[in-house]
Amino acid sequence: MSDHGGLRIADAVNETCPWSGKPVSPDSLTTYKDAVVGFCNPGCRDKFETAVLAFEDALKRQGPHG
């Protein structure tokens, strides 16, 4: 994830928030897999970051598949 500083809305890979469907806001950007992702407000952005971290932690605990 990102510290949110220096991200530009023009670099976002999306125009609408994946949670709400509303337009993305310049104060609600983060990075995911080296891409800038936008959200409609900081709450949606933070919800996304929390979810991603939870999934990554769960996968680490699960270990390799196969």
Q: Is the residue at 4 inside a domain?
A: no
Q: Is the residue at 2 inside a domain?
A: no
Q: Which residue type occupies 66? A: G
The one-character DSSP state at 42 is H
SS3 32: strand
Per-residue pLDDT reduced to its tens digit, 4-56:
779 999 999 999 999 999 999 999 999 999 999 999 999 999 999 999 999 99
The count of structural domains within the chain is 1
The residue assigned the tokens 């598949």 is: 65
Do the beta carbons of residue 24 and residue 38 sit within 8 Å? yes
Q: Is the residue at 1 inside a domain?
A: no
The whole domain housing 30 covers 9-62
Res. 63 pLDDT band, cuts 50 70 90: confident
Q: Which two tokens stand for residue 25?
A: 């806001």
In angstroms, the CA 1 to CA 17 distance is 17
